[in-house]
Amino acid sequence: MEKQITRRNALGKIATTIAVAAVAPAAFAQSQNKKTNPAMGPDLTDPTTKYPRPPFKRQFQPFPGLAGKMDPIPDHGEKTYVGSGRLMGRKALITGGDSGIGRAAAIAYAREGADVAINYLPEEEPDAKEVVALIRQAGRKAVAIPGDIRTEEFCKTLVARAVQELGGLDTLVNNAGHQKTHESILDISTEEFERTMKTNIYAPFWIIKAALPHLKPGSSIIGLSSVQAYDPSENLYDYAQTKAATTSYVKSLAKQLGPKGIRVNGVAPGPVWTALEVSGGQTQENIEKFGEETPLGRPGQPAELASIFVQLADNSASFTTGHIYGAAGGSGQP
């Protein structure tokens, strides 16, 4: 015979159900936290041990070098960067987008919802193909435009192709750079000096001029400065000059374009593990101990700078212009 359900029994069952329902989510969350973090603390990552530390294997590649042949291979965010739609629908052009910091920015932009055009030297095609594939895997349009930015004509062509194939342009990242180490100014030929100046200073000038008519209010220009602009090394005489000039053009152009609603900012990295360093940017002795002088005791990885480029392009940074964002592992300025 079924147990008779009284009013008191019914109310008791309802109260029990409500109590269980109220406790269950908290209990579930607690059990999940215990699974993911036994210490019941925040998810913290020690920056000193997050990535490889020196000593590194001495290694040299002919200029311009390939990231895929480095040991260890740099992290550009291929497996680690997760987007959240912050740049949905944007159209970005990134010079030097095949490897290093430019590659990290390209991957992040695509995963944040932007279509991306990358420029690179023809010799860097193997790296560039990987980036194009990653952009497309993110469901975004990828445009590959190989060529040398040391001529004004190509810079104009580069921007025109990017605008045409992307259907517009609103984010420009002048990342490409040339760096060679020389013990003495006497070792720098006029041709080498000119290559550094044309790649690092002339090219951004030509590219910005070509891009400006296409940039609407809300657009963003980002230049790549360096700690070398603030604390130059004795063996990077020409490169350091160009980074000081980059810092100045960012601040000057921000004042000029601010009234038009176009923001201009820069990023100043410290030692970052890229192909630039192993293809003549550092001596072999410096490669072995690269980054050990930073307070974190290691070089940065390109992936660690990706979020900076996203933030500077994002609408949430609408009051940020004329600034240089440092990322140097605790050393250098700003």
Q: Which residues are catalytic?
A: 239
- Could you give the residue ranges of the DSSP H alpha helices within the chain? 7-36, 100-111, 125-137, 152-166, 190-197, 203-211, 237-257, 275-276, 284-288, 306-313
Which amino acid does the sequence have at 231?
Answer: D
- Could you give the residue ranges of the DSSP H alpha helices within 138-236? 152-166, 190-197, 203-211
Token look-up 């009013």 returns: 7
* CA–CA separation, 161 and 143 (whole Å): 9
Phi-psi region of 68 (alpha: psi -120 to 50; beta: other; left: phi over 0): alpha
Q: How many residues does the chain have?
A: 334
Find the helix packing angle between 152-166 and 203-211, rounded to 10°: 40
Please state the three-class secondary structure of 100-151 as a single string. HHHHHHHHHHHHCCCEEEEEECHHHHHHHHHHHHHHHHCCCCEEEEECCCCC
- 279, 62 in Cβ contact below 8 A? yes
